[in-house]
Amino acid sequence: MSRNSERSQVVLVTGAADGIGAAISALAVARGHRVMLTDVNGEAVHSAARRLGDRAAGCVLDIRDPEGWAKAFDAAEAQLGAVDVLINNAGITHTGHARDLSLQQHRDIVEVNLLGTITGVHTALRRMTEQGRGHIINVCSMTSFLPLPGYSTYGASKYAMRGFHHSVALEERNGPLDFTIIHPPSTRTKMLDQEMADPTSAISFAEKSYAPEQIAKAVVDAIVSKPVEVVFPPLAGRVQRIAGVFPRLMRWVLPRVEARGVRQRERLVSDGQPRASDASETPHRSVS
Ligand SMILES: NC(=O)c1ccc[n+]([C@@H]2O[C@H](COP(=O)([O-])OP(=O)(O)OC[C@H]3O[C@@H](n4cnc5c(N)ncnc54)[C@H](O)[C@@H]3O)[C@@H](O)[C@H]2O)c1
Protein backbone atom coordinates (compact mmCIF):
# COMPACT_ATOMS: atom_id res chain seq x y z
CA MET A 1 0.00 0.00 0.00
CA SER A 2 1.49 3.37 -0.94
CA ARG A 3 1.62 6.03 1.69
CA ASN A 4 -0.87 8.17 -0.23
CA SER A 5 -3.45 5.39 -0.14
CA GLU A 6 -3.64 5.52 3.64
CA ARG A 7 -7.01 6.89 4.72
CA SER A 8 -6.84 10.67 4.76
CA GLN A 9 -7.25 11.83 8.35
CA VAL A 10 -7.94 15.24 9.83
CA VAL A 11 -4.93 16.13 11.94
CA LEU A 12 -4.66 19.09 14.35
CA VAL A 13 -1.04 20.07 15.11
CA THR A 14 0.00 22.56 17.83
CA GLY A 15 3.15 24.67 17.57
CA ALA A 16 2.90 24.16 13.80
CA ALA A 17 4.38 27.47 12.64
CA ASP A 18 7.98 26.37 13.09
CA GLY A 19 10.40 23.57 13.96
CA ILE A 20 9.11 20.03 14.48
CA GLY A 21 5.44 21.06 14.24
CA ALA A 22 5.95 22.68 10.82
CA ALA A 23 7.79 19.56 9.60
CA ILE A 24 5.01 17.28 10.92
CA SER A 25 2.37 19.39 9.16
CA ALA A 26 4.23 19.40 5.83
CA LEU A 27 4.77 15.63 5.87
CA ALA A 28 1.19 14.90 6.96
CA VAL A 29 -0.15 16.96 4.03
CA ALA A 30 2.31 15.23 1.67
CA ARG A 31 0.92 11.87 2.86
CA GLY A 32 -2.62 12.97 1.94
CA HIS A 33 -3.93 14.03 5.35
CA ARG A 34 -5.85 17.26 5.97
CA VAL A 35 -4.06 19.39 8.54
CA MET A 36 -5.16 22.23 10.83
CA LEU A 37 -1.95 24.02 11.75
CA THR A 38 -2.24 25.92 15.04
CA ASP A 39 0.23 28.16 16.83
CA VAL A 40 0.37 31.07 19.26
CA ASN A 41 2.11 32.99 16.44
CA GLY A 42 -0.87 33.82 14.21
CA GLU A 43 0.92 35.44 11.29
CA ALA A 44 3.48 32.63 11.01
CA VAL A 45 0.92 29.84 11.26
CA HIS A 46 -1.33 31.31 8.58
CA SER A 47 1.57 31.70 6.16
CA ALA A 48 2.82 28.16 6.95
CA ALA A 49 -0.68 26.81 6.21
CA ARG A 50 -0.93 28.79 2.94
CA ARG A 51 2.37 27.26 1.76
CA LEU A 52 0.89 23.75 2.21
CA GLY A 53 -2.07 24.29 -0.14
CA ASP A 54 -5.75 23.50 0.13
CA ARG A 55 -5.45 20.41 2.34
CA ALA A 56 -4.16 22.70 5.12
CA ALA A 57 -5.67 25.51 7.16
CA GLY A 58 -4.29 27.74 9.89
CA CYS A 59 -5.68 28.87 13.23
CA VAL A 60 -4.28 30.86 16.18
CA LEU A 61 -4.12 28.76 19.34
CA ASP A 62 -2.30 29.45 22.58
CA ILE A 63 -2.43 25.98 24.10
CA ARG A 64 -2.87 27.48 27.58
CA ASP A 65 -6.31 28.82 26.56
CA PRO A 66 -9.25 26.38 27.00
CA GLU A 67 -11.60 28.50 24.85
CA GLY A 68 -8.94 28.67 22.15
CA TRP A 69 -8.85 24.87 22.08
CA ALA A 70 -12.63 24.66 21.57
CA LYS A 71 -12.38 27.23 18.74
CA ALA A 72 -9.51 25.36 17.09
CA PHE A 73 -11.41 22.05 17.09
CA ASP A 74 -14.51 23.85 15.72
CA ALA A 75 -12.45 25.59 13.02
CA ALA A 76 -10.86 22.29 11.98
CA GLU A 77 -14.26 20.60 11.78
CA ALA A 78 -15.77 23.45 9.75
CA GLN A 79 -12.87 23.67 7.28
CA LEU A 80 -11.48 20.13 7.06
CA GLY A 81 -13.75 17.71 8.98
CA ALA A 82 -13.88 16.38 12.57
CA VAL A 83 -10.41 15.95 14.11
CA ASP A 84 -9.18 12.32 13.95
CA VAL A 85 -5.66 12.95 15.26
CA LEU A 86 -4.43 15.53 17.78
CA ILE A 87 -0.66 16.13 17.77
CA ASN A 88 0.31 18.03 20.92
CA ASN A 89 3.67 19.38 19.83
CA ALA A 90 3.91 23.00 21.09
CA GLY A 91 6.46 23.51 23.83
CA ILE A 92 8.94 26.04 25.19
CA THR A 93 12.12 26.10 27.20
CA HIS A 94 14.06 28.68 29.17
CA THR A 95 17.71 27.71 29.41
CA GLY A 96 19.74 28.04 32.60
CA HIS A 97 20.11 26.48 36.00
CA ALA A 98 17.08 26.49 38.33
CA ARG A 99 18.57 29.09 40.67
CA ASP A 100 19.14 31.52 37.77
CA LEU A 101 15.68 31.36 36.17
CA SER A 102 12.95 33.65 37.48
CA LEU A 103 9.94 32.04 39.12
CA GLN A 104 7.89 33.35 36.19
CA GLN A 105 10.12 31.45 33.74
CA HIS A 106 9.66 28.24 35.75
CA ARG A 107 5.89 28.79 35.73
CA ASP A 108 5.79 29.58 32.00
CA ILE A 109 7.44 26.27 31.15
CA VAL A 110 4.94 24.31 33.25
CA GLU A 111 1.97 26.29 31.96
CA VAL A 112 2.82 25.67 28.31
CA ASN A 113 4.41 22.22 28.28
CA LEU A 114 2.28 20.54 30.93
CA LEU A 115 -0.93 22.48 31.53
CA GLY A 116 -1.28 23.42 27.86
CA THR A 117 -0.98 19.77 26.87
CA ILE A 118 -3.42 18.68 29.58
CA THR A 119 -5.92 21.28 28.33
CA GLY A 120 -5.62 19.93 24.80
CA VAL A 121 -6.02 16.31 25.87
CA HIS A 122 -9.01 17.24 28.05
CA THR A 123 -10.68 18.94 25.06
CA ALA A 124 -9.91 16.04 22.72
CA LEU A 125 -11.04 13.28 25.09
CA ARG A 126 -14.66 14.45 25.14
CA ARG A 127 -14.91 15.33 21.47
CA MET A 128 -13.17 12.22 20.19
CA THR A 129 -15.11 9.90 22.51
CA GLU A 130 -18.38 11.42 21.27
CA GLN A 131 -17.39 10.77 17.65
CA GLY A 132 -16.28 7.23 18.56
CA ARG A 133 -12.70 7.51 17.28
CA GLY A 134 -9.51 9.50 17.75
CA HIS A 135 -5.76 9.32 18.28
CA ILE A 136 -3.82 11.58 20.65
CA ILE A 137 -0.09 11.88 19.92
CA ASN A 138 1.97 13.78 22.49
CA VAL A 139 5.42 15.07 21.53
CA CYS A 140 7.43 14.82 24.75
CA SER A 141 11.24 14.62 25.17
CA MET A 142 14.06 12.26 26.14
CA THR A 143 14.44 14.58 29.17
CA SER A 144 11.29 12.88 30.50
CA PHE A 145 13.60 9.98 31.44
CA LEU A 146 16.79 11.81 32.38
CA PRO A 147 17.36 14.35 35.15
CA LEU A 148 19.82 16.75 33.49
CA PRO A 149 21.54 19.91 34.72
CA GLY A 150 20.18 22.91 32.81
CA TYR A 151 16.81 21.22 32.22
CA SER A 152 15.21 21.19 35.68
CA THR A 153 11.74 22.56 35.01
CA TYR A 154 11.74 21.70 31.31
CA GLY A 155 12.54 18.08 32.21
CA ALA A 156 10.04 18.15 35.08
CA SER A 157 7.31 19.33 32.71
CA LYS A 158 8.13 16.46 30.35
CA TYR A 159 8.34 13.85 33.16
CA ALA A 160 4.89 15.03 34.25
CA MET A 161 3.58 15.02 30.69
CA ARG A 162 4.66 11.40 30.30
CA GLY A 163 3.00 10.41 33.60
CA PHE A 164 -0.22 12.17 32.59
CA HIS A 165 -0.16 10.66 29.11
CA HIS A 166 0.25 7.04 30.19
CA SER A 167 -2.25 7.37 33.07
CA VAL A 168 -4.93 8.71 30.72
CA ALA A 169 -4.09 6.05 28.11
CA LEU A 170 -4.62 3.37 30.77
CA GLU A 171 -7.89 4.95 31.95
CA GLU A 172 -9.14 4.95 28.35
CA ARG A 173 -7.75 1.52 27.38
CA ASN A 174 -11.17 -0.01 26.78
CA GLY A 175 -12.50 3.00 24.84
CA PRO A 176 -12.26 3.99 21.18
CA LEU A 177 -9.20 6.23 21.44
CA ASP A 178 -5.52 5.52 20.72
CA PHE A 179 -2.55 7.14 22.48
CA THR A 180 1.06 7.57 21.39
CA ILE A 181 3.91 9.44 23.06
CA ILE A 182 7.11 10.31 21.16
CA HIS A 183 10.37 11.47 22.73
CA PRO A 184 12.64 13.48 20.41
CA PRO A 185 16.31 13.92 21.29
CA SER A 186 18.05 17.23 20.43
CA THR A 187 16.53 18.45 17.19
CA ARG A 188 17.84 21.27 15.03
CA THR A 189 15.14 23.90 15.59
CA LYS A 190 14.99 27.32 17.20
CA MET A 191 14.71 25.57 20.56
CA LEU A 192 18.18 24.09 20.02
CA ASP A 193 19.45 27.51 18.88
CA GLN A 194 18.34 28.83 22.26
CA GLU A 195 20.29 26.03 23.97
CA MET A 196 23.31 26.69 21.76
CA ALA A 197 23.40 30.30 22.96
CA ASP A 198 23.69 29.22 26.61
CA PRO A 199 26.72 27.23 27.86
CA THR A 200 24.61 25.75 30.69
CA SER A 201 22.78 23.74 27.99
CA ALA A 202 25.98 22.28 26.51
CA ILE A 203 24.90 18.75 27.46
CA SER A 204 22.38 18.95 24.60
CA PHE A 205 25.32 18.76 22.21
CA ALA A 206 26.87 15.63 23.69
CA GLU A 207 25.12 13.35 21.22
CA LYS A 208 23.92 13.42 17.63
CA SER A 209 21.16 15.87 16.87
CA TYR A 210 18.30 15.16 14.48
CA ALA A 211 16.66 17.15 11.70
CA PRO A 212 13.03 18.12 12.39
CA GLU A 213 12.02 16.07 9.33
CA GLN A 214 13.37 12.88 10.99
CA ILE A 215 11.18 13.45 14.05
CA ALA A 216 8.25 14.36 11.80
CA LYS A 217 8.56 11.03 9.99
CA ALA A 218 8.25 9.11 13.28
CA VAL A 219 5.23 11.20 14.28
CA VAL A 220 3.40 10.91 10.94
CA ASP A 221 4.22 7.17 10.69
CA ALA A 222 2.59 6.83 14.14
CA ILE A 223 -0.76 8.01 12.71
CA VAL A 224 -0.94 4.61 10.99
CA SER A 225 1.19 2.32 13.18
CA LYS A 226 -0.09 3.72 16.53
CA PRO A 227 2.90 2.75 18.72
CA VAL A 228 2.50 3.23 22.48
CA GLU A 229 5.86 5.00 22.92
CA VAL A 230 8.80 5.97 20.67
CA VAL A 231 12.30 6.87 21.92
CA PHE A 232 15.28 8.27 19.98
CA PRO A 233 17.68 6.85 19.03
CA PRO A 234 15.96 3.47 19.19
CA LEU A 235 18.75 1.65 21.08
CA ALA A 236 20.66 4.43 22.89
CA GLY A 237 17.30 5.94 23.85
CA ARG A 238 16.42 2.77 25.74
CA VAL A 239 19.77 2.91 27.58
CA GLN A 240 19.17 6.57 28.52
CA ARG A 241 15.72 5.63 29.74
CA ILE A 242 17.19 3.10 32.16
CA ALA A 243 20.07 5.39 33.23
CA GLY A 244 17.58 8.05 34.29
CA VAL A 245 16.13 5.74 36.91
CA PHE A 246 19.44 5.77 38.83
CA PRO A 247 20.57 9.29 39.88
CA ARG A 248 23.73 7.84 41.45
CA LEU A 249 24.69 6.31 38.10
CA MET A 250 23.99 9.68 36.45
CA ARG A 251 26.53 11.36 38.78
CA TRP A 252 29.15 8.92 37.59
CA VAL A 253 28.36 9.24 33.87
CA LEU A 254 27.57 12.95 33.76
CA PRO A 255 31.08 14.51 33.87
CA ARG A 256 32.11 12.63 30.70
CA VAL A 257 28.88 13.41 28.87
CA GLU A 258 29.01 17.07 29.92
CA ALA A 259 32.63 17.40 28.80
CA ARG A 260 31.73 15.95 25.38
CA GLY A 261 28.80 18.36 25.11
CA VAL A 262 31.01 21.35 25.95
CA ARG A 263 33.60 20.28 23.35
CA GLN A 264 31.00 19.72 20.63
CA ARG A 265 29.22 23.00 21.35
CA GLU A 266 32.52 24.91 21.26
CA ARG A 267 33.39 23.23 17.98
CA LEU A 268 30.08 24.32 16.43
CA VAL A 269 30.57 27.88 17.70
CA SER A 270 34.17 28.06 16.44
CA ASP A 271 33.06 26.59 13.07
CA GLY A 272 30.94 29.74 12.78
CA GLN A 273 27.70 27.87 13.35
CA PRO A 274 26.07 29.76 16.21
CA ARG A 275 22.63 28.48 15.12
CA ALA A 276 22.22 24.73 15.50
CA SER A 277 19.19 24.82 13.18
CA ASP A 278 21.45 25.87 10.27
CA ALA A 279 23.59 22.74 10.52
CA SER A 280 22.74 20.07 7.96
CA GLU A 281 24.25 17.39 10.18
CA THR A 282 26.01 17.57 13.52
CA PRO A 283 28.82 15.10 14.13
CA HIS A 284 27.75 14.43 17.69
CA ARG A 285 24.89 12.82 19.55
CA SER A 286 22.36 14.64 21.69
CA VAL A 287 20.08 13.96 24.67
CA SER A 288 17.27 16.50 25.13
N1 LIG B 1 14.25 20.89 19.52
C2 LIG B 1 14.60 19.97 20.42
O3 LIG B 1 15.81 19.73 20.64
C4 LIG B 1 13.55 19.16 21.14
C5 LIG B 1 13.97 18.02 21.83
C6 LIG B 1 13.02 17.26 22.51
C7 LIG B 1 11.70 17.63 22.52
N8 LIG B 1 11.31 18.75 21.84
C9 LIG B 1 9.89 19.12 21.90
O10 LIG B 1 9.38 19.20 20.58
C11 LIG B 1 8.32 20.15 20.55
C12 LIG B 1 8.57 21.15 19.41
O13 LIG B 1 9.80 21.81 19.68
P14 LIG B 1 10.62 22.62 18.55
O15 LIG B 1 12.03 22.29 18.75
O16 LIG B 1 10.00 22.45 17.23
O17 LIG B 1 10.39 24.11 19.09
P18 LIG B 1 10.38 25.49 18.28
O19 LIG B 1 10.70 26.51 19.32
O20 LIG B 1 11.20 25.41 17.05
O21 LIG B 1 8.85 25.64 17.84
C22 LIG B 1 7.84 25.66 18.80
C23 LIG B 1 6.56 26.22 18.22
O24 LIG B 1 5.59 26.25 19.29
C25 LIG B 1 4.96 27.51 19.32
N26 LIG B 1 4.49 27.82 20.67
C27 LIG B 1 5.21 28.25 21.74
N28 LIG B 1 4.39 28.47 22.79
C29 LIG B 1 3.14 28.16 22.38
C30 LIG B 1 1.85 28.20 23.00
N31 LIG B 1 1.70 28.63 24.27
N32 LIG B 1 0.77 27.80 22.30
C33 LIG B 1 0.92 27.40 21.00
N34 LIG B 1 2.08 27.38 20.35
C35 LIG B 1 3.19 27.74 21.03
C36 LIG B 1 6.02 28.49 18.82
O37 LIG B 1 5.43 29.70 18.33
C38 LIG B 1 6.73 27.67 17.74
O39 LIG B 1 6.13 27.83 16.48
C40 LIG B 1 8.29 20.81 21.94
O41 LIG B 1 7.28 20.21 22.71
C42 LIG B 1 9.65 20.49 22.51
O43 LIG B 1 9.66 20.46 23.90
C44 LIG B 1 12.20 19.53 21.15
What's the gap in Å between 285 CA and the centre of ligand 1? 20
Distance 77 CA to ligand 1 centre (A): 24
CATH number reported for the structural domain that contains residue 126 in this entry: 3.40.50.720
Structural domain includes residue 283: no
How far does the centroid of ligand 1 lie from the alpha carbon of residue 210, in Å? Answer: 15
pLDDT in tens, 47-60: 999 999 999 999 99
Task: Print the domain residue range for 61.
Answer: 3-278
Q: What is the mean pLDDT of residues 261-273?
A: 83
In order of 29, 83, 85, 100, 212, the CA distances from 49 in angstroms are 10, 17, 17, 38, 17
The pTM assigned to this predicted structure is 0.94
Asked whether 45 and 17 are in contact (CB, 8 A), the reply is yes
* Count of CA atoms in the C-beta half-sphere (13 A) of 22: 17
Please report the atom of ligand 1 found closest to the CA of residue 204: 3
DSSP string, 107-167: HHHIIIIIIIHHHHHHHHHHHHHHHT-EEEEEE--GGGT---TT-HHHHHHHHHHHHHHHH
Active site residue 210: no
- Total domain count, the chain: 1
Q: How many Å apart are CA 184 and CA 105, to the nearest integer?
A: 23
pLDDT tens, position by position, 91-101: 999 999 999 99
Residue 65 forms part of a structural domain: yes
Angle value at C-alpha 12, between 215 and 235, nearest 5 degrees:
20
Residue 3 reports pLDDT greater than 70: no
Ligand 1 pocket: which of 71, 92, 113, 117 to mutate (most atoms within 8 A of CB): 92
If you measure from the C-alpha of residue 179 to the centroid of ligand 1, how many angstroms do you get, rounded to a whole number?
Answer: 20
Q: What does the pLDDT look like over 182-233, one tens digit per residue?
A: 999 999 999 998 988 898 998 889 888 999 999 999 999 999 999 999 999 8
Pocket of ligand 1 (CB under 6 A): 14-15, 17-21, 39-41, 61-64, 89-92, 112, 116, 139, 141, 184, 186-187, 189-192, 288
Is residue 63 one of the residues assigned to a domain?
Answer: yes
C-alpha to C-alpha distance for 221 and 31, rounded to whole angstroms:
10
